[in-house]
Amino acid sequence: MRLVLLGGPGAGKGTQAKALAKHWKIVHISTGDLFRYHRDHGTELGLLANRYMAQGQLVPDEVTEKMVEDRISQSDVASQGGFVLDGFPRTVPQGEALSAILASKHQHLDAVLYIFVPEEVLEERLVGRRVCPQCQANYHVSLNPPKIADTCDVCGATLIQREDDQPLTVRTRFKVYQEQTSPLIAFYEKRGLLRTVDGNQTPDQVTRALVSAVGTVADD
């Protein structure tokens, strides 16, 4: 199973990618998480990526494509029988690069799942989001607060706000999404791979809708 999740910032790609990876026992590949891992470990790639991430801009295509190609080629992807990509591709050139990477391995995508959520809902989710820097658990100040204010329920670490979840940066991310990522909707629709799901429901409802949408691709 090889899947791509598309959707605006905060649409629930990370949340759903984890659920789908568990459902099909495939590997979750998040370019945002990979960049944050490199940033937190002070690697050259991480320092470069952070210059763009902190501003809400995209990391250059060639850097991102190389990182994804390396990750897709790791042995766990073959042994677990596939992946769900969360945050890649994010530009049409990245979509073309992904097709070329897969073609070189005689592989193809099974489906591209577009999680649609209105922008005002996304904004509320992002500016209220708090994350655990230690175990990556996610909270929301009012929609999903931790039991003790600013403290992770899972590991007790102090929660932080992602630098790119500041209101001004969130607005830049929406603009970048509209200009550079949304053209991928038509790109994958043309290739018969796109399935659109309402992301403005509970996370469990969204997961069920995504699993059923992949079923319709298998039936095509």
In the residue annotation, 191 being an active-site residue is answered as no
Q: Are 116 and 198 in contact (CB under 8 A)?
A: yes
Q: Cβ of residue 32: shortest distance to ligand AP5, in angstroms?
A: 2
Output the CA torsion 30→112→195→23 (10° steps): -60
Burial label, 23 (beta-carbon count in 10 A; 0-12, 13-18, 19+): middle
Residue indicated by tokens 């931790």: 146
53 binds ligand AP5 (CB under 6 A): yes
98 binds ligand AP5 (CB under 6 A): no
Q: Cβ of residue 84: shortest distance to ligand AP5, in angstroms?
A: 12
Cα-flanking dihedrals φ and ψ of residue 216, to 5°?
Answer: -70, -30
Size of the site for ligand AP5 (CB under 6 A): 33
User: Stretches 20-28, 50-58, 99-107, 185-193: which one binds ligand AP5 (CB under 6 A)?
Assistant: 50-58
- One of 97, 129, 132, 184 touching ligand AP5 (CB under 6 A): 129
**CA geometry: angle at 120 spanning 90 and 52, to 5°?**
35
59 binds ligand AP5 (CB under 6 A): yes
Q: Which of these is catalytic: 13, 39, 71, 130? A: 13
* Residues 136-175 within binding reach of ligand AP5 (CB under 6 A): 138, 140, 143-144, 164, 173
DSSP state of 117: -
26 binds ligand AP5 (CB under 6 A): no
Structure tokens at 2: 């090889």
User: Stretches 10-18, 70-78, 96-104, 189-197: which one binds ligand AP5 (CB under 6 A)?
Assistant: 10-18
The Cα–Cα gap between 37 and 70 comes to 15
Distance set, CA 33 to CA 25, 37, 77 (Å):
19, 6, 17
In angstroms and rounded to an integer, the radius of gyration of the C-alpha atoms of the chain is: 17
Would you say how long the chain is, in residues? 220
114 binds ligand AP5 (CB under 6 A): no
32 binds ligand AP5 (CB under 6 A): yes
Q: Are 2 and 108 in contact (CB under 8 A)?
A: yes
Binding residues for ligand AP5, rule: CB under 6 A, are 7, 9-15, 31-32, 35, 52-53, 56-59, 64, 87-88, 90, 94, 125, 129, 138, 140, 143-144, 164, 173, 202-203, 206
- Binding-site residue positions for AMP: 31, 36, 57-59, 87-90, 94, 162, 173
- Binding-site residue positions for ATP: 10-15, 129, 201
